[in-house]
């Protein structure tokens, strides 16, 4: 499995368990960013690009309401940038 971010771990754990239940001999996971502080389940990615602080990140395909997705780097968003992006969904 490949994902940009492991946050709660719920999605990656669910997908892994379903793949194994469907007959996969093994399942490995790789994530660009690992937010260990937000983990809700006991899931540990097999390969991690880097640990991520418990902050809102965007860029390189990660977004907030489709904003900041096109940034050519991963950035930690400031509070005002998060509020602007979230306001667009209202």
Where in the sequence numbering do the catalytic residues fall?
7
φ, ψ dihedrals at 6, nearest 5°: -105, 110
Q: How far apart are CA 1 and CA 28, in angstroms?
A: 6
Q: How far apart are CA 28 and CA 15, in angstroms?
A: 11
> Minimal CA–CA distance to 46: which of 61, 34, 29?
29
């Amino acid at each position: 499995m490949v994902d940009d971010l492991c946050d709660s771990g719920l999605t990656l754990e669910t997908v892994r368990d379903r793949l194994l239940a469907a007959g996969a001999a093994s399942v490995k996971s790789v994530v660009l960013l690992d937010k260990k502080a937000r983990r809700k389940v006991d899931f540990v990615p097999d390969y991690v690009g880097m640990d991520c602080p418990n902050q809102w990140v965007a860029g390189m395909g990660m977004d907030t309401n489709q904003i900041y997705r096109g940034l050519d780097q991963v950035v930690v968003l400031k509070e005002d940038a998060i509020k602007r992006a979230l306001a667009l969904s209202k």
